[in-house]
């Protein structure tokens, strides 16, 4: 019993950020995250990207393939392809990327954002739950940053994803509505520099 209490305290200590301080903290299983993992087949988003002083728009397609991989393809309105990424449970592959965008830092950030949204199964099993009154907080305590998934109490949807460096928030991903097994609107907001993405589902 004492060991269990001690382990719980260690886990909770790792996740004890300011944003979680005001909530009662108990460790329970995270089947909730499995429930809220996006379950789409093919979705198309109208996409707005603001990075530093640049504004970029286009269409982003997410498609679940038969081999269980997920492809994320971004094109401009006239059909010019910016990137085509492949996500699997344990892997990520750049299928294609235009030269201007094909920089390690850009690819890593895009990989990070879409991995968080797609919710890799292996990773979500590592999250710890901090139960709250009106929402549920899940936390993964990494070496340099903590990542939070915030869901509704009934585990029907993800409301927010946040990453912090221990003190300050770094990325906030918020979700609105639900259609075709994923949020209708997804807002990605970087707190450390000017980088915002807005994905809005469109009917085809």
- Of these, 28, 65, 108, 194, which contacts other proteins (CB under 8 A)? 65
Q: Are 177 and 194 in contact (CB under 8 A)?
A: no
37 touches other proteins by CB under 8 A: no
199 touches other proteins by CB under 8 A: no
Q: Token digits for 56?
A: 């970029």
Cβ-based neighbour number of residue 8 at 10 Å: 14
61 touches other proteins by CB under 8 A: yes
* Rounded distance between C-alpha atoms, residue 41 and residue 16, angstroms: 36
10 touches other proteins by CB under 8 A: no
- Closest to 194 in 3D by CA, of 75, 48, 49, 74: 49
174 touches other proteins by CB under 8 A: no
* Rounded distance between C-alpha atoms, residue 95 and residue 97, angstroms: 7
105 touches other proteins by CB under 8 A: no
Cβ at position 99, least distance to other proteins in Å: 5
What string marks each residue from 74 to 103 as x (binds other proteins by CB under 8 A) or -?
-x-xxxxx--x----------xx-xx----
44 touches other proteins by CB under 8 A: yes
203 touches other proteins by CB under 8 A: yes
What string marks each residue from 115 to 154 as x (binds other proteins by CB under 8 A) or -?
----------------------------------------
8 touches other proteins by CB under 8 A: no
185 touches other proteins by CB under 8 A: no
* Rounded distance between C-alpha atoms, residue 183 and residue 175, angstroms: 6
Task: Give whichever of 69 and 115 is closer to other proteins, judged by the CB atom.
Answer: 69
* Rounded distance between C-alpha atoms, residue 51 and residue 106, angstroms: 11
* Rounded distance between C-alpha atoms, residue 201 and residue 187, angstroms: 12
170 touches other proteins by CB under 8 A: no
Beta strands in 52-168 (DSSP E): 54-64, 70-75, 81-87, 92-97, 128-131, 135-141, 146-152, 158-164
Q: Token digits for 170?
A: 């770094």
Q: Are 127 and 141 in contact (CB under 8 A)?
A: no
Contact positions vs other proteins (CB under 8 A): 42, 44, 46, 48, 55, 57, 59, 61, 63, 65, 71, 73, 75, 77-81, 84, 95-96, 98-99, 198, 200, 202-204
């Amino acid at each position: 019993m004492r060991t269990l209490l001690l382990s719980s305290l260690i886990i909770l200590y790792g996740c004890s950020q300011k944003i979680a301080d005001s909530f009662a903290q108990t460790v329970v299983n995270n089947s909730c995250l499995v429930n809220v993992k996006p379950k789409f087949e093919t979705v198309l988003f109208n996409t707005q990207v603001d990075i530093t002083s640049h504004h970029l728009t286009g269409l982003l397609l997410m498609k679940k393939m038969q081999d269980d991989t997920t492809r994320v393809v971004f094109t401009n309105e006239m059909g010019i392809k910016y990137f085509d990424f492949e996500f699997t449970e344990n892997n990520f592959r750049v299928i294609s990327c235009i030269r201007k965008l094909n920089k390690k830092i850009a690819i890593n950030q895009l990989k990070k954002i879409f991995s968080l949204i797609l919710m890799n199964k292996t990773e979500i099993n590592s999250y710890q739950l901090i139960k709250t009154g009106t929402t549920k907080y899940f936390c993964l305590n990494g070496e340099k940053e903590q990542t939070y998934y915030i869901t509704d109490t009934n585990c029907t949807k993800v409301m927010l994803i946040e990453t912090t460096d221990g003190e300050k928030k770094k990325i906030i991903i918020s979700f609105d509505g639900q259609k075709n097994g994923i949020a209708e609107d997804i807002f990605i907001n970087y707190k450390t520099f000017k980088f915002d993405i807005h994905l809005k589902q469109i009917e085809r």
